[in-house]
A and B are shown apart, each in its own frame.
Chain A
Amino acid sequence: MDILSALVTLTNFVMIPAFAYGSQLALGALGITLIYSILRFSHFAHGDVMAFGTMVVIFTTWGLQAAGITLGGVLPTALLAIPVGIAAMVVYLLTVDRLVYRFFRQVKAKPLTFVMASLGVMFITNGLTRLFIGTSERRFEDGARFIFTVREFREWTGLAEGLALRSAQAITIVAALLVMVALFWFLTRTKSGKSMRAYSDNEDLALLSGINPERVVTITWVIVASLVVIAGTLYGLDKGFRPINYFQLLLPMFAAAIVGGLGSPIGAIVGGYVVAFSEMGITYAWRRFFAHLLPEDMAPDSMLQLLPVDYKFAVTFAILVIVLIFRPTGIFRGKSI
């Protein structure tokens, strides 16, 4: 019986990784949910746009590193490059909007036409990313790798089990919290944010009260660009950059947005953490956790892993299905069009 060790194991292998992953998903799902509530379509290019933005950040990071500009070797240089990435993505997304989506808005096309168009954008963005940076894995984190390592933790506490906190994870969690707070401040306290919410609630009424729809759309893309670049960079710092992984984030991000309730920002955040914690919890081998909790002669001999890690999609999907069956509008009662 060693409750403390059990908790430390759990924190090390489930809580911290899931919290970081959940933050990344939440930021991605926020983008999806914003596009959905303002532009009223499911943005299938989200994962690839994320990869594209991260690519810009990576190139900038390499440039900065080559020029000898770093954050003193403590924080990753990529943080300095994020504003460049955001600027590039704002330009990219607004260009795409002008060239592609605006026409469909003007002719009042059906939502699924927008989705088709976003498939086209997905192909192009996907191709561009691979054209520039290729398909192989790129690492771009520098600075201190750990806030504290397993060994340091053991020395401090004298426990048998170790706990490590990687800088990428810590940065992710802090940065995601800051971004979320800033976004909610913007949506609830500023005039632009309020006009966005008004537009999302009732388009006709918002138009009648003199809100300029094109301005709302522009602001939305600017916010989405920022969210996408930050989420993508944090994910890349944490797990390494491969375009295909970003593409595959599409499913968990959409699941997070739907589980929380499409169109509800709070829902997107909660959904992100729900998806991340379920994925981690169900694919984690619980043997060591229970070995600490149970008396020695009852120690489990199997891995106690509910599903192999390869099936993490299945977990996401199962959550999605459960929500779709029992509460189709999501936890926070999103809207459905």
Chain B
Amino acid sequence: MSVNWRNVGLFAAMGVVLLLTAAFQSWQLALTILNMSLISAIMALGVNMQWGYAGLFNVGIMGFTAVGGVAAVLIAMPPVPEAWAAGGFGAMLGLMLGVATILAAVAVYKRMAPGRMRGLVIFAVIVVGWVVARFFFAPATQAIQAVNPASEGYLGGLGLPVILAWPVGAVFAAGAAWIVGKVSLGLRSDYLAIATLGISEIIIAILKHERWLARGVNNVTGIPRPVTRPVDLQPLPWVQELAVRLGWTVSETAAILSALGYAALFTIVLAILIWLSEKALNSPWGRMMRAIRDNEVAARAMGKDVTRRHLNIFVLGSAVCGLAGAMMVSMDGQLTPGSYEPLRFTFLIWVMVIVGGSGNNWGSVLGAFVIWFLWVQVEPAGRWLMETVTANMDVGSDLRRHLLDSAAYMRLLTMGVALLLVLRFSPRGLIPER
């Protein structure tokens, strides 16, 4: 396979831009951008599997990333024994009864002959199951939330190493995707979009509201990190030596080292994923997927089970998004359900995939780097622009203050313009599909 020098050049240019950021702004900023770009690249890979390989339009990326983030809490946080004692049993029983209700309803739907009787029985099963589950569930969760509500008030996690949360996050997201896919795949493509949009909003609503699970809007902070924190690095003698040799402050050095640690971990994950995706894309399976994408009718005529293949790839892609979500939470060390916004976590990833080049894994990765860089840097650029525009205005004027406050929204405008320009003039993206 010959090396595509154009693509290498594009990545090298991106690297130079990041180095320039480090030189002119700061190493910390450059590394923060790099780390988030790596995570975004993984999300974009997941979306590219769904859209680029199979043509599935998933607008629920936010939900799948958030589900992955929950895994970080459930795996890594220490359990709260008092909360388990107070209501752990009731909450689990309630949840199981809820699941049993759904399973019973599905069983009735499958076993009974269609008709009004079946509808009535299903309705009765759901109502009875709901009431019984609520009977155990509601008091138990209230008891849990009453346990030391200022810092706990939830069941806590398993207290396992946080790295474990990454695969578990992927599994969680895969489970959610399986349910959504089961319902909405096989229907029209736009329906999948609406269904995923809905499920992602519901997932965020659950995270915000169910405080017994992950403290809801009170946020879980202090999640153990996979890389030593800067605070713990600072007292180490070799860190201090390094700081002296480089002429930086100790705290700066420690922060940079910690960020480099994350960058290394994320790069490993990304490299493995790209390797796997490239293998999959060039295997018979990948060719089948593209055949389905390009001509569903023909693929079906060839005996391919299109709906099942779609479900496969939908679950796989969402799992990758869940993995990225867990990685992000473990990097931030906190889960803040209030910060999940569809523009940032769903539509921005879409811009990355389209700009980078849908159907091409390297394209998605590059798109993630370019778009995330823009997303971060447009804000200071916008502020600078606004300051130039308003330089001649009266310092106290309302218009000037309003314009300066609004600089942050320049990034939304930029993203929209970037997306439209690429769609119009280069619909195959920066690195087109081969």
Contact = CB atoms under 8 A, between A and B. Distances in A.
Interface in B318-370: 342-343, 347, 350-351, 354
Interface stretch (A18-26, A50-58, A213-221, A309-317): A309-317
Contacts of B197: 250-251, 254
Contacts of A337: 188
Contacts of A134: 402, 405-406
A148 interface: no
A52 to B, nearest CB: 13
Given A42-B194, A127-B409, A122 B187 contact: no
A120 B198 contact: no
A131 B417 CA distance: 15
A124 B193 contact: no
Interface stretch (B40-48, B73-81, B201-209): B201-209
A299 to B, nearest CB: 18
Contact of B419 (A116, A254, A255, A262): A116
A316 B199 CA distance: 10
A325 interface: yes
Interface in A60-88: none
A185 interface: no
B406 to A, nearest CB: 5
A119 B347 CA distance: 7
A324 B416 contact: no
Nearest to A311: B205
Nearest to A45: B416
B356 to A, nearest CB: 13
B183 interface: yes
Interface string B68-91: 000000000000000000000000
A290 to B, nearest CB: 14
Interface string A247-270: 110110011001000100000000
A336 B350 CA distance: 24
B92 interface: no
A127 B411 CA distance: 8
Nearest to A321: B183
B269 interface: no
B202 A116 contact: no
Nearest to B424: A103
Interface string A114-135: 0111011111111110111010
A310 B406 contact: no
Contact of B413 (A103, A128, A316, A317): A128
Contact of A258 (B183, B194, B405): B194
The main secondary structure of chain B at its interface with chain A is helix
A313 B205 contact: yes
A313 B209 CA distance: 13
Contacts of A130: 406, 409, 412
A30 B189 CA distance: 20
B409 A255 contact: no
B136 interface: no
B2 to A, nearest CB: 31
A245 B343 CA distance: 13
B410 to A, nearest CB: 7
B423 A117 contact: yes
B57 A308 contact: no
B415 interface: yes
B412 A116 contact: no
B347 A123 contact: yes
Interface in B165-204: 183-184, 187-191, 193-195, 197-199, 201-202
Contacts of A320: 194-195, 198
Interface residues on B, range: 35 or more
A73 B54 CA distance: 58
A123 B193 contact: no
Given A119-B350, A119-B419, A123-B343, A310 B413 contact: no
A143 interface: no
B420 interface: yes
B432 interface: no
B427 interface: yes
A111 interface: yes
B189 A251 contact: no
A126 B130 CA distance: 40
Interface string B89-120: 00000000000000000000000000000000
A99 B170 CA distance: 40
Contact of B187 (A100, A314, A328): A328
B59 to A, nearest CB: 8
A131 B419 CA distance: 19
Of B190, B206, B354, B427, chain A has the most CB atoms within 10 Å of the CB of B190
A42 B198 contact: no
Given A100-B420, A111-B189, A314 B205 contact: yes
A308 B420 contact: no
Contacts of A321: 183-184, 195
A267 B351 CA distance: 33
Given A310-B209, A314-B205, A324 B423 contact: no
A126 B188 contact: no
B402 to A, nearest CB: 8
A336 B57 contact: no
A334 B193 CA distance: 18
Given A116-B350, A116-B423, A336-B188, A124 B417 contact: yes
A213 B302 CA distance: 38
A104 B423 CA distance: 9
Contacts of A328: 187-188, 191
Interface string A83-121: 000000000000000001001100000011101110111
Contacts of A132: 406
B419 A325 contact: no
Contacts of A314: 202, 205
Nearest to A129: B409
Nearest to B353: A116
Nearest to B191: A324
Contacts of A41: 190
Given A111-B190, A317-B202, A337-B188, A120 B413 contact: no
A120 B406 contact: no
A117 B420 contact: yes
Given A314-B205, A324-B184, A123 B419 contact: yes
13 contacts: A44-B193, A113-B423, A119-B350, A127-B412, A127-B415, A131-B413, A134-B402, A255-B198, A317-B201, A320-B198, A321-B195, A324-B195, A325-B183
Q: 7 shortest A-B CB distances, which residue pairs?
A: A123-B416, A127-B412, A124-B416, A127-B413, A317-B198, A120-B419, A120-B420
Given A113-B427, A125-B416, A308-B209, 8 more contacts: A103-B424, A115-B190, A120-B423, A127-B411, A134-B405, A310-B208, A317-B201, A320-B194
